[in-house]
Amino acid sequence: MDTDRFKKKLTKRRKEIVALLAHIADKLDDPKDPDVEERATEREDDEVMELQGNSGLKELTAIDHALNRIKVGTYGICIVCGEPISEERLEAVPHATKCQKCI
């Protein structure tokens, strides 16, 4: 398995998530509109951004774990059964920790 290719893919995605999280944090820090109706809309938007941020943080953690597994030589090995994770699965979810049958 070409772990360098997956490392590049994971590193690229990590940078994208870090940028997205920075953008979300910046938007959430914006001053709120004094208009009550506009504030309600902004609050709904903030809730969506917070959910995106939480999802991004989870993915970032999973990516960091995958990069560590590459470093220690356990990348692509299912944490449940110890069998290799298919490259097709890793292409779809590069930070996958389980093979298809153990999901």
pLDDT by residue for the chain (103 residues), tens only, comes to 899 999 999 999 999 999 999 999 998 887 876 776 777 777 888 899 999 999 999 999 999 999 999 999 999 999 999 999 999 999 999 999 999 999 9
Looking at the DSSP assignment, which residues form a beta bridge with residue 40? none
76 contact partners, CB below 8 Å, separation of at least 6: 1, 3, 6, 69, 84, 85, 87, 90
Distance of CA 24 to the CA centre of its chain: 14
pTM for this predicted structure: 0.85
pLDDT at residue 32 in the model:
76
Distance of CA 36 to the CA centre of its chain: 34
Residue 84, amino acid? P
